[in-house]
């Protein structure tokens, strides 16, 4: 080992930098720079996150772009100083006294909560770790680099507001986001991806393409314009067709149901803060935040036989959740959305095969949208779980064995299952390499018991079914948001709201253009006509900005030869084409 260390030193080599340690250290350098420039600012927290880091500060005024430039400059000075990072530990009272001397009230709160945990099952902390670099000291468990000089490539990216501990009743803090990479080339590539992501932002494209918008009059609730609703409806048509092929029956349940139903299901005990309530005839009602209880009532309306199993009841349910305003993000995080849910009832002996069936369904669906890269995450028993340890072991084993028998790799997400059972999450990777959680499969061991659901078994007696909850898209809205950014608004031909734009060169070609439009519409091709008195180049650019894949140009020659001149996204100018042949080809391409 000594020789190896000597060789590394002689060759001026170092072991690879751990990204988490690099970004965590850069967050500390950020906080140190802020304290140097703005000594009265109070420190909150500064973790490393996917693709970067952030730090929250309590300031009198939000940080400006000019502030970020000054902070970056100061950070570079700290990095150049090559300050060593040294850790030390203090007992509870010493730690409290230390952060009080530093006048850091948020650090005091963190220490107090660890000394006296709100969760009685957690052990009280008796020792607290701090990291020091130069004059700057922060409460932190690490990990960190050994010196600030090892930071070679970083960038502060943006600022945002963030409630302390995510609680809207607590102080609003100023958050600075940044990122760091081992090399300047890796940082440059990442910043390029960020710029591309801004261009693909579904909120921006949604407005530009006339698909959907958001209003302060209904925060977190999307408004669909004609083309956007057409896109959503087309997605739902596909959903219905593929689910019918996989043996699902569609149901619909009420949006508002009595409070006692949600108490019976257990949801009020876990989600009541996220539920919208109202009083009708002096009784408490809730707007549904999920479809599950309605699905239980639908199953319970009649006595079922094992011969009907697996019984697959699917629902496109309109859901409302009281999300915090700071958590809202376009279609990705809304207060109103359409959840593509299903509840599958079966015998225990059928669980593993049905899990495989659902996984195959999801893989077919994602492939239809060009989303072929995804990974599986198996979430296990959480601290607030209900049910016996034996039930959880059996359920987790079923999910694990289904994935392994299908040859699917997965990672374990310890303690992140639903309170009623473990789950498999699908993490979809988009064209920019970002990961999105869409589909989920949850094994529910509790609701059939709570709703006293039964079936007649092979022995003629009554038995209790087991159940799988599952959502394929997660929600129609979220999936549309992911798909918009993945495709940069260039949706698959069969899905795109407007498949073809007809562009007459002059007014004398309008009549022929109208006939072409009628033929396309009769064939089921979604087309529109641009008969404005604008120049051709302008119309073509407008169609490209609207992400319309096909443009049919009509001039004297085309009208005379009874043809159209085709410009496509893939091939540009394709010249004169027979309209009938195009329609036949497009009808095939429009089928899902």
Residues labelled as active-site residues:
292, 321, 339, 341, 343, 423, 469
Are the beta carbons of 500 and 517 closer than 8 angstroms? no
Tokens of 535: 């120049």
Q: Do 581 and 574 touch, CB atoms closer than 8 A? A: no
Tell me the C-alpha distance between 196 and 193, whole Å: 5
Contact 264, 292 (CB under 8 A): no
What DSSP character marks residue 16? P
Number of CB atoms found within 10 A of residue 189's CB: 11
How far apart CA 121 and CA 395 sit, in angstroms, is 24
The tokens describing 541, both together, are: 């650019």
Given a contact cutoff of 8 angstroms between Cβ atoms, the answer to whether 466 and 485 are in contact is no
Cα radius of gyration rounded to whole Å, the chain: 29
What tokens were used for 540?
């073509």
Number of Cβ atoms within 10 Å of the Cβ of 371 = 22
Length of the chain: 592
Strand ranges across the sheet with 462-463: 304-305, 455-456, 462-463
Give the whole-angstrom CA distance, residue 563 versus residue 279. 64
Reference 366, options 315, 438, 443; nearest CA is: 438
Distances 539 to 14, 73, 498, 545, 585 between C-alpha atoms, Å: 58, 47, 15, 10, 25
Cα distances (Å, whole numbers) of residue 423 to 323, 324, 341, 355, 374: 23, 25, 14, 11, 16
Distance CA 477, CA 336 (A): 9
* Residue 337 exposure: Cα atoms within 13 Å on the Cβ side: 27
Give, rounded to a whole angstrom, the gap between the first and last alpha carbons of the chain.
Answer: 61
What residues pair up with 162 in beta bridges, in sequence order?
A: 173
Q: Rounded distance, CA 547 to CA 153, Å?
A: 36
Q: What is the largest CA-CA distance in the chain?
A: 92
């Amino acid at each position: 080992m000594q020789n190896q260390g000597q060789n590394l030193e002689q060759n001026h080599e170092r072991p690879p930098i751990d990204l988490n340690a690099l970004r965590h250290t850069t967050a500390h350098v950020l906080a140190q720079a802020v304290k140097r420039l703005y000594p009265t600012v109070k420190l909150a927290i500064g973790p490393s996150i996917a693709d970067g880091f952030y730090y929250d500060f309590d300031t009198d005024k939000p940080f400006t772009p000019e502030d970020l430039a000054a902070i970056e400059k100061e950070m570079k000075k700290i990095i150049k100083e090559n300050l060593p990072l040294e850790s030390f530990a203090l007992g509870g009272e010493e730690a409290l006294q230390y952060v009080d001397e530093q006048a850091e009230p948020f650090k005091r709160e963190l220490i107090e909560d660890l000394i006296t945990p709100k969760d009685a099952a957690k052990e009280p902390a008796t020792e607290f770790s701090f990291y020091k670099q130069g004059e700057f000291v922060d409460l932190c468990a690490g990990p960190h680099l050994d010196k600030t000089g090892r930071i070679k490539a970083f960038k502060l990216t943006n600022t945002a507001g963030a409630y302390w501990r995510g609680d809207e009743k607590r102080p609003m803090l100023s958050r600075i986001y940044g990122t760091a990479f081992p090399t300047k080339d890796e940082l440059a590539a990442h910043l390029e991806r960020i710029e591309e992501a801004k261009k693909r932002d579904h909120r921006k494209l949604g407005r530009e393409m006339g698909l959907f918008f958001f209003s302060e009059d209904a925060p977190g609730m999307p408004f669909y314009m004609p083309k956007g609703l057409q896109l959503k409806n087309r997605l739902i048509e596909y959903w219905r067709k593929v689910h019918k092929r996989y043996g699902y029956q569609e149901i619909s349940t009420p949006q508002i149901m009595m409070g006692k139903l949600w108490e019976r299901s257990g949801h009020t005990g876990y989600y009541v803060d996220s539920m919208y309530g109202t009083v009708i005839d002096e009784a408490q009602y809730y707007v549904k935040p999920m479809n599950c209880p309605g699905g239980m009532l639908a199953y319970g309306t009649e006595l079922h036989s094992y011969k009907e199993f697996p019984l697959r009841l699917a629902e496109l349910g309109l859901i409302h959740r009281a999300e915090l305003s700071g958590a809202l993000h376009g279609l990705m995080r809304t207060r109103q959305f359409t959840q593509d849910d299903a509840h599958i009832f079966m015998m225990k002996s059928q669980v593993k095969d049905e899990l495989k069936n659902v996984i195959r369904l999801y893989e077919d669906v994602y492939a239809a949208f060009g989303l072929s890269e995804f990974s599986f995450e198996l979430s296990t028993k959480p601290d607030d779980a209900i049910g016996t340890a034996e039930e959880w072991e059996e359920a987790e084993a079923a999910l694990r064995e289904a994935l392994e028998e299908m040859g699917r790799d997965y990672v374990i997400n310890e303690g992140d299952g639903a309170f009623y059972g473990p789950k498999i999450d699908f993490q979809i990777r988009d064209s920019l390499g970002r990961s999105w959680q869409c589909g989920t499969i949850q094994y529910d061991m509790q609701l059939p018991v709570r709703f006293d659901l039964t079936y007649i078994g092979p022995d003629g007696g009554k038995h209790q079914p087991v159940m799988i909850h599952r959502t394929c898209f997660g929600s129609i809205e979220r999936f549309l948001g992911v798909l918009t950014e993945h495709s940069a608004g260039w949706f698959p031909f069969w899905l795109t709201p407007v498949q073809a734009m007809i562009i007459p060169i002059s007014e004398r070609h309008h009549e022929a253009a109208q006939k072409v439009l009628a033929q396309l519409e009769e064939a089921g091709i979604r087309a529109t006509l641009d008969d404005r008195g604008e120049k051709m180049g302008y119309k073509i650019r407008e169609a490209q900005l609207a992400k319309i894949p096909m443009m049919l140009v009509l001039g004297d020659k085309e009208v005379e030869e009874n043809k159209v001149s085709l410009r496509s996204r893939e091939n540009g100018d394709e010249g004169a084409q027979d309209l009938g042949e195009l329609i036949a080809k497009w009808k095939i391409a429009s089928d899902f």
